[in-house]
Structure 1
Amino acid sequence: MTEQNENRINVAVPENYNGMPIEVILREGQAPEALDPKEPVPVKIIGTIESPLKWLEKRVELIDQKTAHITVSRDDMKISLFDKETDYYSNGIEGILRPSKEMVEFGINSEKNWEPINLSKFFKMHRAFFKDKAENMALVSTLKNFKAKVNQDIERSKEENGSKTDNYSQVVDSNLPKSFKLNIPLFKGFDCEEIEVEIYADVDGRNVSLSLVSAGANEAIEDYKNRVIDEQLNLIREIAPDIAIIEI
Protein backbone atom coordinates (compact mmCIF):
# COMPACT_ATOMS: atom_id res chain seq x y z
CA MET A 1 0.00 0.00 0.00
CA THR A 2 1.44 3.32 -1.03
CA GLU A 3 1.62 6.19 1.50
CA GLN A 4 0.31 9.52 0.35
CA ASN A 5 0.81 12.88 2.02
CA GLU A 6 -2.23 14.97 1.63
CA ASN A 7 -2.22 18.79 1.97
CA ARG A 8 -5.56 20.41 2.13
CA ILE A 9 -6.44 24.09 1.55
CA ASN A 10 -9.79 25.44 2.55
CA VAL A 11 -11.11 28.22 0.31
CA ALA A 12 -14.06 30.28 1.43
CA VAL A 13 -16.48 30.81 -1.45
CA PRO A 14 -18.74 33.89 -1.32
CA GLU A 15 -22.44 33.21 -1.61
CA ASN A 16 -22.73 35.35 -4.72
CA TYR A 17 -19.82 33.67 -6.49
CA ASN A 18 -22.27 32.14 -9.04
CA GLY A 19 -20.50 28.80 -9.16
CA MET A 20 -17.44 30.11 -11.02
CA PRO A 21 -14.28 27.96 -10.66
CA ILE A 22 -11.62 29.06 -8.17
CA GLU A 23 -7.96 28.87 -9.15
CA VAL A 24 -5.39 28.23 -6.41
CA ILE A 25 -1.67 28.52 -7.25
CA LEU A 26 0.93 26.83 -5.01
CA ARG A 27 4.59 27.83 -5.35
CA GLU A 28 7.49 25.84 -3.93
CA GLY A 29 10.78 27.31 -2.79
CA GLN A 30 12.14 29.80 -0.31
CA ALA A 31 10.04 32.87 0.32
CA PRO A 32 11.74 36.23 -0.27
CA GLU A 33 12.99 38.09 2.75
CA ALA A 34 10.58 40.60 4.16
CA LEU A 35 11.51 44.24 3.62
CA ASP A 36 12.56 46.27 6.60
CA PRO A 37 9.72 48.44 7.86
CA LYS A 38 10.11 52.10 6.92
CA GLU A 39 9.09 55.17 8.85
CA PRO A 40 6.29 57.21 7.27
CA VAL A 41 7.50 60.05 5.07
CA PRO A 42 5.78 63.42 5.59
CA VAL A 43 4.62 65.22 2.46
CA LYS A 44 6.25 68.61 1.87
CA ILE A 45 4.88 70.49 -1.13
CA ILE A 46 5.67 74.02 -2.31
CA GLY A 47 3.39 75.21 -5.08
CA THR A 48 1.28 78.10 -6.29
CA ILE A 49 -0.86 80.13 -3.89
CA GLU A 50 -3.86 77.80 -4.34
CA SER A 51 -1.96 74.61 -3.38
CA PRO A 52 -3.34 74.36 0.22
CA LEU A 53 -6.90 74.75 -1.11
CA LYS A 54 -6.40 72.13 -3.83
CA TRP A 55 -4.94 69.68 -1.27
CA LEU A 56 -7.86 70.19 1.13
CA GLU A 57 -10.42 69.67 -1.62
CA LYS A 58 -9.21 66.06 -1.97
CA ARG A 59 -8.11 65.33 1.64
CA VAL A 60 -10.37 67.26 4.00
CA GLU A 61 -12.35 64.14 4.98
CA LEU A 62 -9.14 62.31 5.93
CA ILE A 63 -7.84 64.84 8.46
CA ASP A 64 -8.90 66.07 11.89
CA GLN A 65 -9.52 69.78 11.36
CA LYS A 66 -9.14 70.48 15.09
CA THR A 67 -5.48 69.38 14.97
CA ALA A 68 -4.64 71.21 11.74
CA HIS A 69 -3.81 74.86 11.18
CA ILE A 70 -2.97 77.37 8.47
CA THR A 71 -0.50 80.25 8.71
CA VAL A 72 -0.71 83.30 6.47
CA SER A 73 2.22 85.64 5.73
CA ARG A 74 1.11 88.55 3.58
CA ASP A 75 4.61 90.03 3.48
CA ASP A 76 5.97 86.80 2.00
CA MET A 77 2.73 86.25 0.00
CA LYS A 78 2.46 82.74 1.45
CA ILE A 79 -0.25 80.37 2.80
CA SER A 80 0.99 77.26 4.68
CA LEU A 81 -1.15 74.27 5.74
CA PHE A 82 -0.12 71.71 8.42
CA ASP A 83 -2.53 68.78 8.82
CA LYS A 84 -1.22 67.50 12.22
CA GLU A 85 0.27 70.36 14.20
CA THR A 86 1.80 68.21 17.01
CA ASP A 87 2.90 65.29 14.84
CA TYR A 88 6.52 64.97 13.68
CA TYR A 89 5.21 63.45 10.43
CA SER A 90 2.76 66.27 9.74
CA ASN A 91 2.25 67.10 6.08
CA GLY A 92 3.12 70.65 5.04
CA ILE A 93 1.54 72.23 1.98
CA GLU A 94 2.87 75.68 1.11
CA GLY A 95 1.33 78.01 -1.46
CA ILE A 96 3.29 81.05 -2.62
CA LEU A 97 2.20 83.97 -4.78
CA ARG A 98 5.24 84.35 -7.05
CA PRO A 99 6.17 87.23 -9.35
CA SER A 100 5.78 86.31 -13.00
CA LYS A 101 8.76 85.29 -15.10
CA GLU A 102 8.24 88.43 -17.17
CA MET A 103 8.43 90.77 -14.17
CA VAL A 104 11.65 89.10 -13.07
CA GLU A 105 13.20 89.23 -16.54
CA PHE A 106 12.36 92.90 -17.06
CA GLY A 107 13.68 93.64 -13.56
CA ILE A 108 10.91 96.11 -12.77
CA ASN A 109 11.17 97.62 -9.26
CA SER A 110 14.27 95.57 -8.54
CA GLU A 111 18.01 96.16 -8.23
CA LYS A 112 18.54 94.98 -11.80
CA ASN A 113 20.55 97.43 -13.95
CA TRP A 114 20.82 97.55 -17.72
CA GLU A 115 23.35 98.94 -20.16
CA PRO A 116 21.48 100.92 -22.86
CA ILE A 117 22.48 98.60 -25.71
CA ASN A 118 21.50 95.47 -23.76
CA LEU A 119 18.13 96.94 -22.82
CA SER A 120 17.60 97.83 -26.48
CA LYS A 121 18.15 94.20 -27.50
CA PHE A 122 15.91 92.93 -24.69
CA PHE A 123 13.04 95.24 -25.66
CA LYS A 124 13.37 94.19 -29.29
CA MET A 125 13.07 90.47 -28.40
CA HIS A 126 10.14 91.10 -26.02
CA ARG A 127 8.04 93.33 -28.25
CA ALA A 128 4.95 91.16 -27.57
CA PHE A 129 4.63 92.67 -24.07
CA PHE A 130 4.46 96.27 -25.25
CA LYS A 131 1.09 97.97 -25.43
CA ASP A 132 2.15 99.93 -28.51
CA LYS A 133 4.44 98.24 -31.05
CA ALA A 134 5.46 101.58 -32.56
CA GLU A 135 6.51 102.74 -29.08
CA ASN A 136 8.61 99.61 -28.76
CA MET A 137 10.42 100.31 -32.04
CA ALA A 138 11.10 103.91 -31.01
CA LEU A 139 12.47 102.77 -27.64
CA VAL A 140 14.73 100.19 -29.26
CA SER A 141 16.16 102.85 -31.58
CA THR A 142 16.57 105.40 -28.77
CA LEU A 143 18.38 102.98 -26.48
CA LYS A 144 20.58 101.77 -29.32
CA ASN A 145 21.69 105.37 -29.91
CA PHE A 146 21.51 106.55 -26.31
CA LYS A 147 22.83 110.06 -25.72
CA ALA A 148 23.05 111.95 -22.46
CA LYS A 149 24.29 115.43 -21.71
CA VAL A 150 25.70 115.84 -18.22
CA ASN A 151 26.02 119.26 -16.63
CA GLN A 152 28.08 119.32 -13.45
CA ASP A 153 28.49 122.23 -11.07
CA ILE A 154 31.16 122.07 -8.39
CA GLU A 155 31.58 124.77 -5.75
CA ARG A 156 34.35 124.58 -3.21
CA SER A 157 35.54 127.39 -0.97
CA LYS A 158 37.29 127.90 2.35
CA GLU A 159 36.88 130.96 4.51
CA GLU A 160 39.52 132.46 6.77
CA ASN A 161 37.50 131.59 9.86
CA GLY A 162 37.59 127.91 8.93
CA SER A 163 34.15 127.65 7.31
CA LYS A 164 33.99 125.39 4.25
CA THR A 165 31.64 125.09 1.28
CA ASP A 166 31.58 121.90 -0.81
CA ASN A 167 28.60 121.62 -3.18
CA TYR A 168 28.16 119.25 -6.10
CA SER A 169 25.22 119.01 -8.48
CA GLN A 170 24.66 117.00 -11.65
CA VAL A 171 21.86 117.34 -14.19
CA VAL A 172 21.42 114.68 -16.87
CA ASP A 173 19.54 115.54 -20.05
CA SER A 174 18.93 112.42 -22.15
CA ASN A 175 16.84 111.43 -25.16
CA LEU A 176 14.94 108.76 -23.18
CA PRO A 177 11.13 109.00 -23.11
CA LYS A 178 9.44 109.83 -19.81
CA SER A 179 7.60 106.47 -19.68
CA PHE A 180 6.17 103.60 -21.72
CA LYS A 181 3.46 100.98 -21.24
CA LEU A 182 3.74 97.22 -20.88
CA ASN A 183 1.07 94.51 -20.85
CA ILE A 184 2.50 91.69 -18.69
CA PRO A 185 1.34 89.38 -15.87
CA LEU A 186 2.35 90.59 -12.42
CA PHE A 187 2.15 87.11 -10.87
CA LYS A 188 2.83 83.62 -12.13
CA GLY A 189 -0.32 82.03 -13.49
CA PHE A 190 -2.32 85.29 -13.68
CA ASP A 191 -3.56 87.36 -16.60
CA CYS A 192 -1.64 90.28 -18.08
CA GLU A 193 -2.02 93.78 -16.63
CA GLU A 194 -1.28 97.11 -18.26
CA ILE A 195 1.36 99.05 -16.32
CA GLU A 196 3.29 102.26 -16.92
CA VAL A 197 7.07 101.96 -16.63
CA GLU A 198 9.71 104.69 -16.26
CA ILE A 199 13.40 104.43 -17.14
CA TYR A 200 15.82 105.81 -14.54
CA ALA A 201 19.34 106.64 -15.73
CA ASP A 202 22.41 106.63 -13.51
CA VAL A 203 25.34 108.37 -15.22
CA ASP A 204 28.84 108.26 -13.76
CA GLY A 205 31.32 109.67 -16.22
CA ARG A 206 31.15 107.42 -19.26
CA ASN A 207 29.32 104.65 -17.42
CA VAL A 208 25.55 104.59 -17.83
CA SER A 209 23.17 102.15 -16.11
CA LEU A 210 19.41 102.08 -16.51
CA SER A 211 16.72 100.69 -14.21
CA LEU A 212 12.97 100.14 -14.74
CA VAL A 213 10.53 101.52 -12.18
CA SER A 214 6.74 101.30 -12.02
CA ALA A 215 4.74 102.83 -9.17
CA GLY A 216 1.55 101.49 -10.75
CA ALA A 217 2.87 97.93 -10.73
CA ASN A 218 3.80 98.26 -7.07
CA GLU A 219 0.29 99.44 -6.17
CA ALA A 220 -1.32 96.68 -8.24
CA ILE A 221 0.86 94.03 -6.59
CA GLU A 222 -0.20 95.17 -3.11
CA ASP A 223 -3.87 95.11 -4.14
CA TYR A 224 -3.56 91.73 -5.89
CA LYS A 225 -1.66 90.20 -3.00
CA ASN A 226 -4.32 90.89 -0.39
CA ARG A 227 -7.24 90.16 -2.70
CA VAL A 228 -5.89 86.79 -3.86
CA ILE A 229 -4.94 85.66 -0.34
CA ASP A 230 -8.38 86.67 1.01
CA GLU A 231 -10.10 84.75 -1.81
CA GLN A 232 -8.11 81.62 -1.01
CA LEU A 233 -8.85 81.85 2.73
CA ASN A 234 -12.57 82.30 2.13
CA LEU A 235 -12.67 79.19 -0.06
CA ILE A 236 -10.72 77.22 2.55
CA ARG A 237 -13.19 78.27 5.26
CA GLU A 238 -16.05 76.92 3.16
CA ILE A 239 -14.65 73.38 2.91
CA ALA A 240 -12.75 73.27 6.22
CA PRO A 241 -14.46 75.65 8.68
CA ASP A 242 -12.77 74.16 11.80
CA ILE A 243 -9.15 74.65 10.72
CA ALA A 244 -7.45 77.46 12.63
CA ILE A 245 -6.16 80.26 10.35
CA ILE A 246 -3.41 82.40 11.86
CA GLU A 247 -1.92 85.56 10.37
CA ILE A 248 1.80 85.89 11.06
Structure 2
Amino acid sequence: MSENKLNVVVPKDYNGTPIEVVLREGTAPEQLEIKEPERVMIDGTIDAPYRWLEKRIDLINQKSSNIIVNRDKMGMVLTINETNYYQDVITGVLQPSKEMVEFGINTDKKWEPIKLSQFLKMHRAFFTDKSQNMMLVSTLKNFKAKVNQDIERSKEENGSKVDNYSQVVDSNLPKSFKLNIPLFKGFACEEIEVEIYADVDGRDVSLSLVSAGANEAIEEYKNKVIDEQLDAIRQIAPDIVIIEV
Protein backbone atom coordinates (compact mmCIF):
# COMPACT_ATOMS: atom_id res chain seq x y z
CA MET A 1 0.00 0.00 0.00
CA SER A 2 1.52 3.31 -1.09
CA GLU A 3 1.54 6.25 1.23
CA ASN A 4 1.54 9.92 0.16
CA LYS A 5 2.58 12.55 2.64
CA LEU A 6 1.80 16.23 2.47
CA ASN A 7 3.37 19.02 4.47
CA VAL A 8 0.83 21.70 5.29
CA VAL A 9 2.16 24.98 6.64
CA VAL A 10 -0.33 26.76 8.91
CA PRO A 11 0.01 30.54 9.04
CA LYS A 12 0.59 32.17 12.45
CA ASP A 13 -2.72 34.01 12.31
CA TYR A 14 -4.66 30.76 11.76
CA ASN A 15 -8.09 31.10 13.43
CA GLY A 16 -9.11 27.46 13.47
CA THR A 17 -11.13 27.47 10.24
CA PRO A 18 -10.95 24.00 8.62
CA ILE A 19 -8.35 23.77 5.86
CA GLU A 20 -9.27 21.69 2.81
CA VAL A 21 -6.46 20.01 0.95
CA VAL A 22 -7.19 18.59 -2.52
CA LEU A 23 -4.73 16.10 -3.98
CA ARG A 24 -5.08 15.47 -7.72
CA GLU A 25 -3.18 12.72 -9.42
CA GLY A 26 -2.30 12.48 -13.10
CA THR A 27 0.05 13.96 -15.69
CA ALA A 28 0.17 17.63 -16.55
CA PRO A 29 -1.15 18.56 -20.00
CA GLU A 30 1.51 18.78 -22.68
CA GLN A 31 2.54 22.26 -23.63
CA LEU A 32 2.24 23.27 -27.28
CA GLU A 33 5.47 23.18 -29.21
CA ILE A 34 7.03 26.60 -29.57
CA LYS A 35 7.34 27.38 -33.28
CA GLU A 36 9.16 30.09 -35.16
CA PRO A 37 7.11 32.78 -36.92
CA GLU A 38 6.10 31.88 -40.46
CA ARG A 39 7.10 34.00 -43.43
CA VAL A 40 4.43 35.19 -45.80
CA MET A 41 5.45 34.16 -49.33
CA ILE A 42 2.93 34.96 -52.06
CA ASP A 43 3.28 34.62 -55.84
CA GLY A 44 0.44 36.25 -57.72
CA THR A 45 -0.56 38.35 -60.68
CA ILE A 46 0.97 41.76 -61.26
CA ASP A 47 -1.44 43.51 -58.85
CA ALA A 48 -0.58 41.21 -55.88
CA PRO A 49 1.73 43.74 -54.10
CA TYR A 50 -0.89 46.50 -54.37
CA ARG A 51 -3.70 44.21 -53.15
CA TRP A 52 -1.63 43.17 -50.15
CA LEU A 53 -0.72 46.74 -49.20
CA GLU A 54 -4.28 47.94 -49.72
CA LYS A 55 -5.51 45.91 -46.72
CA ARG A 56 -2.41 45.98 -44.50
CA ILE A 57 -0.85 49.39 -44.96
CA ASP A 58 -1.60 50.36 -41.32
CA LEU A 59 0.21 47.27 -40.01
CA ILE A 60 3.61 47.79 -41.62
CA ASN A 61 6.56 50.13 -41.37
CA GLN A 62 6.92 51.63 -44.84
CA LYS A 63 10.47 52.81 -44.12
CA SER A 64 11.63 49.20 -43.66
CA SER A 65 9.97 47.94 -46.83
CA ASN A 66 10.90 48.09 -50.51
CA ILE A 67 9.65 47.22 -53.99
CA ILE A 68 12.03 45.89 -56.65
CA VAL A 69 10.78 46.29 -60.24
CA ASN A 70 12.15 44.19 -63.12
CA ARG A 71 10.52 45.15 -66.41
CA ASP A 72 12.44 42.55 -68.40
CA LYS A 73 10.84 39.82 -66.27
CA MET A 74 7.55 41.75 -66.22
CA GLY A 75 7.28 41.69 -62.45
CA MET A 76 7.80 43.36 -59.08
CA VAL A 77 8.62 42.11 -55.58
CA LEU A 78 7.35 43.73 -52.37
CA THR A 79 9.47 43.00 -49.27
CA ILE A 80 8.16 43.85 -45.79
CA ASN A 81 10.62 44.11 -42.85
CA GLU A 82 13.59 43.97 -45.22
CA THR A 83 16.20 43.46 -42.46
CA ASN A 84 14.23 40.74 -40.67
CA TYR A 85 14.96 37.08 -41.38
CA TYR A 86 11.20 36.44 -41.30
CA GLN A 87 10.47 39.15 -43.83
CA ASP A 88 7.31 38.89 -45.91
CA VAL A 89 7.67 38.75 -49.70
CA ILE A 90 4.83 39.33 -52.16
CA THR A 91 5.65 38.82 -55.83
CA GLY A 92 3.52 40.09 -58.70
CA VAL A 93 4.22 38.97 -62.26
CA LEU A 94 2.58 39.89 -65.54
CA GLN A 95 2.06 36.33 -66.73
CA PRO A 96 1.20 35.21 -70.27
CA SER A 97 -2.37 34.02 -70.47
CA LYS A 98 -3.20 30.32 -70.53
CA GLU A 99 -4.49 30.79 -74.06
CA MET A 100 -1.24 32.30 -75.35
CA VAL A 101 0.70 29.42 -73.81
CA GLU A 102 -1.63 26.76 -75.21
CA PHE A 103 -1.56 28.19 -78.73
CA GLY A 104 2.23 28.50 -78.47
CA ILE A 105 2.26 31.91 -80.14
CA ASN A 106 5.77 33.41 -80.46
CA THR A 107 7.36 30.38 -78.80
CA ASP A 108 9.38 27.39 -79.97
CA LYS A 109 6.27 25.20 -79.94
CA LYS A 110 5.90 23.11 -83.11
CA TRP A 111 2.65 21.69 -84.43
CA GLU A 112 1.92 18.80 -86.74
CA PRO A 113 -0.74 19.96 -89.23
CA ILE A 114 -3.34 17.42 -88.09
CA LYS A 115 -2.70 18.23 -84.38
CA LEU A 116 -3.07 21.95 -85.03
CA SER A 117 -6.27 21.27 -86.96
CA GLN A 118 -7.76 19.41 -83.99
CA PHE A 119 -6.62 22.07 -81.52
CA LEU A 120 -8.09 24.97 -83.52
CA LYS A 121 -11.36 23.09 -83.95
CA MET A 122 -11.72 22.78 -80.16
CA HIS A 123 -10.81 26.47 -79.66
CA ARG A 124 -13.14 28.01 -82.23
CA ALA A 125 -14.48 30.42 -79.58
CA PHE A 126 -11.28 32.49 -79.82
CA PHE A 127 -11.66 33.20 -83.53
CA THR A 128 -13.13 36.55 -84.56
CA ASP A 129 -14.51 34.86 -87.68
CA LYS A 130 -15.97 31.38 -87.11
CA SER A 131 -16.08 30.65 -90.85
CA GLN A 132 -12.34 31.32 -91.03
CA ASN A 133 -11.85 28.77 -88.27
CA MET A 134 -13.77 26.12 -90.22
CA MET A 135 -11.77 26.84 -93.36
CA LEU A 136 -8.46 26.70 -91.50
CA VAL A 137 -9.37 23.45 -89.74
CA SER A 138 -10.24 21.85 -93.07
CA THR A 139 -7.09 23.16 -94.74
CA LEU A 140 -4.83 21.84 -91.99
CA LYS A 141 -6.62 18.51 -91.97
CA ASN A 142 -5.86 18.11 -95.67
CA PHE A 143 -2.56 19.99 -95.62
CA LYS A 144 -0.56 19.76 -98.81
CA ALA A 145 2.80 21.31 -99.49
CA LYS A 146 4.72 21.30 -102.72
CA VAL A 147 8.46 21.41 -102.19
CA ASN A 148 10.81 22.35 -105.01
CA GLN A 149 14.44 21.62 -104.32
CA ASP A 150 17.41 22.64 -106.43
CA ILE A 151 20.79 21.16 -105.68
CA GLU A 152 23.97 22.15 -107.46
CA ARG A 153 27.21 20.42 -106.73
CA SER A 154 30.43 20.77 -108.69
CA LYS A 155 34.06 20.12 -108.10
CA GLU A 156 36.75 22.07 -109.88
CA GLU A 157 40.03 20.58 -110.96
CA ASN A 158 41.94 22.86 -108.59
CA GLY A 159 40.05 21.42 -105.61
CA SER A 160 37.42 24.18 -105.23
CA LYS A 161 33.92 23.02 -104.37
CA VAL A 162 30.46 24.47 -104.94
CA ASP A 163 27.51 23.14 -102.93
CA ASN A 164 24.27 25.11 -103.30
CA TYR A 165 20.90 24.07 -101.91
CA SER A 166 17.60 25.91 -102.22
CA GLN A 167 14.10 24.93 -101.19
CA VAL A 168 10.82 26.64 -102.04
CA VAL A 169 7.62 25.60 -100.25
CA ASP A 170 4.28 26.29 -101.86
CA SER A 171 1.38 25.36 -99.56
CA ASN A 172 -2.37 25.88 -99.37
CA LEU A 173 -2.21 27.48 -95.91
CA PRO A 174 -3.78 30.93 -95.46
CA LYS A 175 -1.37 33.80 -94.88
CA SER A 176 -2.84 34.65 -91.48
CA PHE A 177 -5.90 34.49 -89.22
CA LYS A 178 -7.25 36.56 -86.33
CA LEU A 179 -7.77 35.58 -82.72
CA ASN A 180 -9.46 37.33 -79.82
CA ILE A 181 -7.57 36.17 -76.72
CA PRO A 182 -6.07 37.71 -73.57
CA LEU A 183 -2.37 38.41 -73.82
CA PHE A 184 -1.90 38.27 -70.04
CA LYS A 185 -3.43 36.24 -67.24
CA GLY A 186 -6.32 38.07 -65.65
CA PHE A 187 -6.72 40.66 -68.41
CA ALA A 188 -9.30 41.27 -71.13
CA CYS A 189 -9.11 39.76 -74.61
CA GLU A 190 -7.22 41.49 -77.41
CA GLU A 191 -7.57 40.98 -81.16
CA ILE A 192 -4.31 39.82 -82.72
CA GLU A 193 -3.27 38.61 -86.17
CA VAL A 194 -1.44 35.28 -86.26
CA GLU A 195 0.69 33.90 -89.09
CA ILE A 196 1.51 30.25 -89.73
CA TYR A 197 5.12 29.41 -90.52
CA ALA A 198 5.87 26.05 -92.12
CA ASP A 199 9.15 24.21 -91.62
CA VAL A 200 9.59 21.40 -94.16
CA ASP A 201 12.37 18.85 -93.84
CA GLY A 202 11.91 16.21 -96.49
CA ARG A 203 8.55 14.62 -95.71
CA ASP A 204 8.38 16.05 -92.18
CA VAL A 205 6.33 19.22 -91.80
CA SER A 206 6.05 21.29 -88.61
CA LEU A 207 4.13 24.52 -88.11
CA SER A 208 4.64 27.42 -85.72
CA LEU A 209 2.38 30.35 -84.84
CA VAL A 210 3.83 33.85 -84.96
CA SER A 211 2.27 37.22 -84.19
CA ALA A 212 4.32 40.39 -84.59
CA GLY A 213 1.31 42.43 -83.41
CA ALA A 214 1.02 40.45 -80.18
CA ASN A 215 4.73 40.86 -79.48
CA GLU A 216 4.51 44.62 -80.02
CA ALA A 217 1.38 44.90 -77.87
CA ILE A 218 3.02 42.94 -75.05
CA GLU A 219 6.06 45.26 -75.01
CA GLU A 220 3.85 48.36 -74.86
CA TYR A 221 1.30 46.89 -72.51
CA LYS A 222 3.74 45.58 -69.91
CA ASN A 223 5.21 49.03 -69.23
CA LYS A 224 1.77 50.59 -69.07
CA VAL A 225 0.48 47.99 -66.60
CA ILE A 226 3.57 48.15 -64.37
CA ASP A 227 3.44 51.97 -64.29
CA GLU A 228 -0.26 51.86 -63.34
CA GLN A 229 0.50 49.50 -60.46
CA LEU A 230 3.37 51.64 -59.19
CA ASP A 231 1.23 54.79 -59.31
CA ALA A 232 -1.49 53.03 -57.31
CA ILE A 233 1.06 51.86 -54.71
CA ARG A 234 2.49 55.38 -54.35
CA GLN A 235 -0.99 56.66 -53.52
CA ILE A 236 -1.41 54.38 -50.50
CA ALA A 237 2.24 53.83 -49.52
CA PRO A 238 4.27 56.91 -50.43
CA ASP A 239 7.17 56.05 -48.10
CA ILE A 240 8.00 52.64 -49.57
CA VAL A 241 11.12 52.88 -51.70
CA ILE A 242 10.69 51.68 -55.29
CA ILE A 243 13.83 50.51 -57.13
CA GLU A 244 14.08 49.56 -60.81
CA VAL A 245 16.62 46.90 -61.76
Aligned match of 1:100 in 97, 100, 109? 97
Deviations 1:187-240 (A, max 9, x none): 111000000000000111111100000000000111111110000000001111
How far apart are residue 84 of structure 1 and its match?
1.0
How far apart are residue 163 of structure 1 and its match?
1.9
Structure-to-structure mapping, 1:128-143, within 5 angstroms: 128-143=125-140
The alignment status of 1:207 with 2:204, answered yes or no, reads yes
Aligned match of 2:42 in 35, 42, 45? 45
Per the alignment, residue 218 of structure 1 pairs with 215
Structural RMSD (CA): 1.7
Q: TM-score, normalised by structure 2?
A: 0.89
Structure-to-structure mapping, 1:48-127, within 5 angstroms: 48-127=45-124
Q: TM-score, normalised by structure 1?
A: 0.88
Distance in 1 of aligned mates of 2:26 and 2:78:
49
Distance in 2 of aligned mates of 1:217 and 1:5:
88
Distance in 2 of aligned mates of 1:30 and 1:155:
95
Q: Helix, strand or coil: the match of 2:190?
A: strand
- Letter of the 1:5 partner, please give it: I
Moved over 6 A (4+): none
Distance in 2 of aligned mates of 1:28 and 1:44:
46
Distance in 2 of aligned mates of 1:130 and 1:32:
66
Distance in 2 of aligned mates of 1:55 and 1:207:
51
Distance in 2 of aligned mates of 1:4 and 1:107:
88
How far apart are residue 38 of structure 1 and its match?
1.2
How far apart are residue 30 of structure 1 and its match?
5.7
Deviations 1:102-144 (A, max 9, x none): 0010000001110001101111110000010010000000000
Q: Helix, strand or coil: the match of 2:146?
A: strand
Per the alignment, residue 231 of structure 2 pairs with 234
Per the alignment, residue 8 of structure 2 pairs with none
Distance in 2 of aligned mates of 1:167 and 1:141:
36
Structure 1 pair 3–29 and aligned structure 2 pair: CA distance change class (3 A): farther
Distance in 1 of aligned mates of 2:226 and 2:158:
63
Distance in 1 of aligned mates of 2:17 and 2:154:
126
Aligned match of 1:4 in 5, 18, 38? 18
How far apart are residue 35 of structure 1 and its match?
1.4
How far apart are residue 33 of structure 1 and its match?
2.4
Aligned match of 2:182 in 180, 185, 197? 185
